[in-house]
Chains A and B, each alone.
Chain A
Amino acid sequence: MNKLKSKKASERIGQILLWLFLLFALAIFSVPYLFMISNSFEKFSFSLPFPPRIFPKQIIFDAYQYILGLDIFTVAFRNSVINTVLTVAIELLVATLSAYGFARIKFPGREMLFNIYLLTLMVPGFLNIIPQFITLGAIKLPFPGLSEGLVGTRPGLILIYVATGICGYTFFLRNFFRGLPEALSESVIMDGGTHMTIFTRIMLPLSKPAIGTMTILALQGIWEEYFTAKVLLGANESMITLPMLLQRLNGEHATRWEWVFAASILIQIPVIILFILFQRKTVIGGLSEGSVKQ
């Protein structure tokens, strides 16, 4: 009896020590975050405060008010939301379809085509921006605003985003689809169903974790994308995105670091909320399942 008690007591002490150690480690890990947050509450004084602070001395929302009051912040926020949502919606449609094709339909040239997809993942992507730029310029559509080619337009940017994501997401989802039991689809075929029925009735509902993971990763990736947007939209002021705005703030107001940090935090908040809301169901579950199975 006594032994059991002392064992429990020592376990509790162990747990507390573990907690304290992890808390200490996490505190060190969070220094960049604390630094960013505390400095976003600073008052303008031409240079960073000395000694450097990781806890705010006072909490002033001036920087946040300034950033939120900028007309261009509203424009950039709206653009980023539209670009991200449209891109991910189209990407989901195209990538799930093609992943199903590669996972479950036998067609000639399948392995070769899939290997080509894999190969493209190894080539540094952003050199492609030059030929992509030229190709977009050559696509002239009979719609208002698109008759001069797609450079500097939203449809152009979204096309490039969707296209460059396909190979990776097809690879990821194909692995998941392949892991699902085939018996279910066979029974659908016996009942005279088509691949489209299997896809919509069985594969999509069963792949919610994988699709959820992909959605979160894609949302985050497009939300923070800077380089492609800068090159393709560069001159078009009305199309500016949040990462472009952040870089501009940093370039124009290198001394107004409290604006830069406040803007950074405002841009990061939606991603953190999204992650915390869905972490249990998708990100942690899907990511780890996908990796451990391989």
Chain B
Amino acid sequence: MSHDNKRRKWKKYRKGILAALPFVTPGLLLVCIFVLYPMLFTFRIAFSDYQIVKREITWIGLDNFINVLTAKNNSFWYAFRNNFLYAFITTPCIIFLGMFFAYLINNLNKGKTIFKIGFYLPVITSWVIVGLVFQYLFNSSNRGLINYVIVDVLHLSKNYIPWLLREWSGNTAIWIMGIWKNTGWAMLIYTAALQGISKDLYEAASLDGATSWQRFIGIVIPMVKPTTYFVLVNMVIGSFNVFIQVMLLTAGKPNGTTSVLQYLLYDKAFKQFKFGEASAIGLMTAITIIIVTVILNRGLKLDTVDKEETV
């Protein structure tokens, strides 16, 4: 009897595997060879001294991690701080601007598509191109548009600001570029969410004499909460993948104070050829992303439970 059961189970197993093979195998093979194997290899390098030319790998334990964490110029900690700052500063701006523009566009009777496309253009523009343009916009001399507007038009400052060469102005440029590039994405997601809100709600509110702004605060923000979570999680995780902005705008100058983890990794691997330390940074970045994701998901789950209880 139990023998029969086992056999039946095995048969079911085999059936499942045979059915899945033609679908899953091509992808799985490619992932194993070109994604998983390289990842394990990186994992190994993180604990080794790797001489790429000689192809020598020697196990050295935690030395790479210690070297990275205790580097004299604190480069890791600056990068780590900057990733979190990027998340804390750009995410709320992107969420607010995206929601605000989506609400305004949604209230239009005509011409919705033009504005949707207009605000979405930065999203489909290549990062490399955007980086080049911002390099020129934030040029240190009077030829940069931002300096020109601040000094020659608005007279807010007497001297031209060397934007990309100072710690906080450099970081600001990186944040502005991130906000500019991603607002359109949030706007698009929010316009879809707003279409799901019934018109009756607005009309009832207007009859009660609510202004547009009151409707925005009182109806729109609470109603699109799930979408806000979605955008929030995406933007926060995305903040740990910031790279091209930094490479093209500041290259971490001055002294790595505008660097981020991915740029530090790139610099260690492809400029200094310290693959061990680069892999250690990669591993710590991955762990940070996983922890942040888990915390965000916990937070969201707690919140939805709360909501169900109150309803």
Contact = CB atoms under 8 A, between A and B. Distances in A.
Q: Which residue among A25, A30, A163, A226 has the maximum number of chain B CB atoms within 10 Å of its CB? A: A163
B42 interface: yes
B151 to A, nearest CB: 11
B132 A128 contact: no
A288 interface: yes
B235 to A, nearest CB: 12
Interface stretch (A49-57, A67-75, A81-89): A49-57
A220 B125 CA distance: 9
- Size class of the B contact interface (CB-based, 8 Å): 35 or more
B257 interface: no
Interface in B113-158: 113, 115-122, 124-130, 132-134, 136-137, 139, 142-145, 148, 152
Interface of B: 13, 16-17, 19-20, 22-24, 26-28, 30-31, 33-39, 41-42, 45, 52, 101, 104-105, 107-111, 113, 115-122, 124-130, 132-134, 136-137, 139, 142-145, 148, 152, 180, 183, 188-189, 191-193, 196, 226-227, 230, 237, 241, 261-262, 265-266, 269-270, 275, 278-279, 282, 285-286, 289-290, 293
Interface of A: 15, 18-19, 21-22, 25-26, 29-33, 35-36, 39, 47-52, 54, 93-95, 97-98, 100-102, 105-108, 110, 113, 116-117, 119-120, 122-124, 126-128, 130-132, 135, 159-160, 162-164, 166-167, 170, 195-196, 199, 220, 223-224, 226, 231, 243, 246-247, 250, 257, 260-261, 264, 267-268, 271-272, 275-276, 279-280, 284, 287-289, 291-292, 294
- 9 shortest A-B CB distances, which residue pairs? A288-B192, A101-B23, A98-B27, A163-B34, A224-B126, A131-B38, A107-B16, A128-B38, A107-B20
Given A105-B23, A119-B290, A257-B136, 15 more contacts: A22-B105, A22-B108, A25-B101, A29-B183, A35-B145, A94-B30, A98-B23, A122-B237, A123-B39, A131-B37, A159-B34, A268-B126, A279-B113, A288-B192, A292-B230
